[in-house]
Structure 1
């Protein structure tokens, strides 16, 4: 596939290409251009024209375009789900579902394009301003660069591109290196729907593409989902041009299981939240499980039984429960983290082995705070269970992390639930459900090393627009 610059599908300026591999067997399923600095520069120049065209486009027309894209995604959901499965390695049911979620996201932002309202602010609360009025209006930022990760590429990209366009911006997308194909396919629907040339562009390639976009003075905002290390680098570089930066970064989500929890339902949620969703490669996956000692043994047995029954294999097979990690580097990184946990005193209850890009669903006990399996984000199917005796101490352990994306509590005691909600330093607290959940109409994002700002259909348009105030001095009263 080619990449999209200024309304044209094109190769890289130097002709370089990157292979796209199926992580299940490392077979090549396509190639994409490896964009150069010259390609980035050309794209940013085109985006200036595209931004002016989008800012002049009425909201009803933006609605029509995004709604048309949503319909085209729905019409091609099965085909796109298969393509995403082959390039990403998630189960076919998951990738097909992800494409459907993307259609909903596009449709949601289409509607919100018509509801980007300002405010009317009477000033009679201020002495001497009783006869004055202020109004505010929201305007596009200009050019937004969307940097997209590999784990849920179509869904996460949809928030950035549909939100940016709904707010009247131009958007340049930097695709994930490992799985750019489904995004490129959907981008064709966007061109067919009638976007102005340069309003949306897609660049494929490596980190140097993202770095060039972050450095460019012609880009007004970076919207990025990815690792915390990458987020820090973006903030450092973006500071040179004072551009806006929205980051959704890593997580080490804690789940607190109380002694009144439904053990069987909790076990189901842990399996789904750590093993069978995204093959464990989710920023908000279940990463640390703190279990009240009275139910610890029963929960460990229930989770182990379910893990033993999981089928690992070809993600295109509907019977598969767990597919491969995105590439060999990712699988080897998880393997090293498990080995380190064992060296630090942890015990492997089940799993623990790597085969090519596949890593067995793994349960660890004896994990202590400070070891990487507890303190760092493990981006793969590894589930540590740690017993606790005191609920307040469990809350403290959950907060003892440089991350703060989401957390979960399993309990039917409303006081415990509200206490967790009060003190956990995270973006979302989930009750009696896995943390591996994201609802597109809710604000999503984290605190501390998990990022800044919030992303969601009702929030992103405010992140991707700017507010201007008109102060009308002494307009009330007699002539």
Structure 2
């Protein structure tokens, strides 16, 4: 029988890197059915054994850190030093969830709060949900995979991972590492393919939970499809993060937050990247004077060259979408001061000034190295404009006034506020997620394991004399 496959290529050069199966609906059903066997095996493991498995995976990943990072860079387009940092983060995440596997706590609930129940004892325990489907995005495939797969195993679940179709090869290797580390059969499996694979994971009754990092459009669709089987659908979706620069800000640091947190890191393809910049009129021109030469100095090129700051976007179509967004901003009245040129999948970092507040393109999430900048004279207007976005992942405030910083942070309708730093910040031990169209979910070492378990209450009647 001929198995259909699809090609995986280097987005910058078009070089063929490998092929993976384009799985059919029957293939996906078979994987989910097999995962029930894996689920029973993982659930039967004591927590110390699950912890040991995750530690062993982390150790084996560390031994292959350089080759995995090079593979991610080749298929994803991020510069190599960044993918090395990503693999390092994934290793830490596996070790963090190994520790969390031994810290899944229940509660003792005082029944003497209810008249007549004083002599009874109630406790809760946490049990695995079942089979967890982990749908992974292209921008940080290994790191975000780790948050989902390691958490699922730590909580006693089997996991079915759908890697990103444009850069699945690194997770193909990690899947092999899981087996080599001694995971029970069918405890950790991959399903490869496109949108229909994701839809089936949301639809099949054998999947107890779906966890997705992706677009808001994809999240809404999977939530609808998951509703029929009442599965948990955990969503970390889009962002349009605002950075507010007050008149007393450290402009050098604010500029660096834009350069590193938007134009360079992840080639601008990060949900929590700085995507809108609001600068006080009093320092607007000085801010641009600092920003433009730093943006121009960024080197665009081969992601495997360590001197590269910005590599190719994930595909030429993604670069075309960024190019179109820049053109829309200019058409709406913005001034393009630097960059914005496209060559295949490469886009030079773009800086636009005087972006109209009501520009539809300003409200959209631009997934690439583009920094649109608008002015304000009253910081209350900056907060209002930031909050008018349908997204609510992160925001940043630059000011030397501590009281103002916390006041603005409280007013911003987002999941996290970074004071005097870039919004492109994610530490594995922090809750990560946002409000509104960002999905409402929080992912992190201390949150995700709990979310991938369910509570059971046990009541002992007449436990006390």
Q: Report the TM range for the smaller structure's normalisation.
A: over 0.9
Question: Does the aligned pair in 2 maintain the 1:17–1:31 contact within 8 Å?
Answer: yes
| Large movers: runs of 4+ above 6 Å | none
Distance 2:26 2:2 in 1: 9
* Equivalence for 1:22: 10
Q: Deviations over 1:56-94 (max 9, x none)?
A: 111010011000010111111111111111000000000
SS of equivalent to 1:383: strand
Q: Which has the higher mean CA deviation after the structures are superposed, 131-140 or 29-38?
A: 131-140
Contact kept? 1:73, 1:100, Cα under 8 Å:
no
The reply to whether residue 379 of structure 1 matches residue 367 of structure 2 is: yes
Q: Quick check: 1:367–1:373 contact (8 Å CA) kept in 2?
A: no
- Superimposed CA distance per residue, residues 399-453 of structure 1 (whole angstroms, 9 cap, x where no aligned partner): 0110001111111212111112212111111111100110000111111000132
C-alpha deviation, 1:29, in angstroms: 1.0
Partner of residue 91, structure 2: 103
**Number of the residue aligned with 1:234:** 222
**1:236-385 correspondence runs (5 A):** 236-385=224-373
What is the CA–CA distance in structure 2 between the aligned matches of 1:434 and 1:295, rounded to whole Å? 18
Residues 322-352 of structure 1, C-alpha deviation per residue, up to 9 Å, x if partnerless?
1110001100001111111111111101012
Q: Deviations over 1:103-158 (max 9, x none)?
A: 00000000100001111122333333333332110000000100010000000000
- Equivalent residue number for residue 136 of structure 2: 148
Report what 1:405 is aligned to: 393
Match of 2:37 among 26, 44, 49: 49
Following superposition, the deviation at residue 472 of structure 1 comes to 2.9
In the aligned structure 2, how far is the partner of 1:14 from the partner of 1:242?
Answer: 36
- Contact 2:257–2:422 at 8 Å: present in 1 too? yes
What stretches of structure 1 of length at least 5 have no aligned partner? 1-12
SS at 1:115's partner residue? coil
Contact residue 253 and residue 405 of structure 1 kept, 8 A: yes
The offset of 1:474, in angstroms, is: 4.2
In 2, the alpha carbon distance for the partners of 1:162 and 1:31 equals 25
Classify the secondary structure of the residue corresponding to 1:160: helix
The structural deviation recorded for 1:14 is: 4.7
Residue 471 of structure 1 and its aligned partner are, at CA, apart by: 2.4
Alignment of 1:89-128 (within 5 A): 89-128=77-116
Give the match for residue 459 of structure 1.
447
Question: 2:267 touches 2:311 (CA, 8 Å); kept in 1?
Answer: yes
Alpha-carbon distance in structure 2 between the residues aligned to 1:472 and 1:160: 35
Q: Distance in 1 between matches of 2:442 and 2:414?
A: 12
Match of 1:129 in 2: 117
Partners of 1:337 and 1:372 within 8 A in 2:
no
CA–CA distance in structure 2, aligned partners of residues 470 and 55 of structure 1: 19
Task: Answer whether contact 1:373 1:384 (CA < 8 A) is retained.
Answer: no
Deviations 1:213-240 (A, max 9, x none): 1110110100000000000100111111
Specify every segment of 5 or more residues in structure 2 that has no aligned partner in the other structure, as ranges.
Answer: none
Deviations 1:151-193 (A, max 9, x none): 0000000000000000000100011010001111111111011
From the superposition, tell whether residues 256 and 238 of structure 1 become closer, same or farther in structure 2 (CA, over 3 Å).
same
**Structure 1 position 388 matched with structure 2 position 376:** yes
Distance 2:451 2:115 in 1: 32
CA contact (8 A) 1:14 1:36 kept: no
Given that 2:336 and 2:352 are in contact with CA atoms closer than 8 Å, whether structure 1 keeps it comes out as: yes
Q: Is the CA contact 2:239–2:393 (under 8 Å) kept in the aligned structure 1?
A: yes
Would you say the 8 A contact 2:77–2:314 is kept in 1? yes
Using the size of structure 1 for normalisation, the TM-score is 0.95
Aligned Cα RMSD in Å? 1.1
Contact persistence 2:244–2:382 (CA under 8 A): yes
Q: Which moved more, 1:317-326 or 1:419-428?
A: 419-428
Check whether the contact 1:367–1:385 (CA below 8 A) recurs between aligned residues: yes
Within 1, Cα distance between the matches of 2:35 and 2:98?
21
* Corresponding residue number in structure 2 for 1:35: 23
